[in-house]
Amino acid sequence: MRRSVAAVAAAIASVALVALWWTGGGSGSEAALVMPEGLDLAQGEVLYGEYCASCHGANLEGQPDWQSPGPDGRLPAPPHDETGHTWHHPDSVLFQYTKLGGRETLALQGIEFDSGMPGLEGQLSDQEIWTILAYIRSTWPERARAAQAARTEASLANEGS
């Protein structure tokens, strides 16, 4: 029984994130957000350690069994290294998810989902969020960076149509 609940929860989370990616990650100007160039990766690593590592791991490895809901029904924090799905999402989704939190970001899409990801708005500036995301991106192999860049381009093209 627990396995089927875990599978359903993982499927719902996957569908929600695919819907978020497909729609460009939001509405209005936030959906067109793209990571700025020339961000300080060393500062991003420090900020990641301070704000993200306690859940997502010091080495971006995520929590164990991150694809299965925990006792509270929430999915554990996923890895941000190449083994996770972070690189599957365009810049706008990554930014909004970090700034607003999972629940609020998905609610903007009309999706009700009890995400454990808190919003960091008010704790981090937009520039600091981008700096953390740039650090995370810098750790991925070229193939993952290229795939994520293509998803960002597709999201921007979708937003422009």
pLDDT tens string 126-139:
999 999 999 999 99
Q: Where are the domains of the chain?
A: 41-160
The verdict on domain 41-160 having CATH code 1.10.760 is: yes
Between helices 126-138 and 41-51, what is the axis angle to 10°?
Answer: 100
Low-confidence residues of the chain, pLDDT below 70?
A: 1-32, 161
| pTM recorded for the entire structure | 0.81
What confidence score (pLDDT) does residue 18 get?
Answer: 42
Distance CA 35, CA 27 (A): 17
Residue with tokens 């991150």: 66
| 11 touches 3 (CB < 8 A) | no
The alpha carbon of 155 is separated from its chain's Cα centroid by a whole number of angstroms, namely 15
CA dihedral defined by 137, 141, 146, 151, rounded to 10 degrees?
-50
Closest listed residue to residue 49, CA positions, set 41, 39, 58, 40: 58
Instruction: Note the pLDDT of residue 160.
Output: 73
What integer pLDDT is reported at residue 24 of this predicted model? 43
Closest Cα to residue 134, out of 86, 84, 79, 77? 86
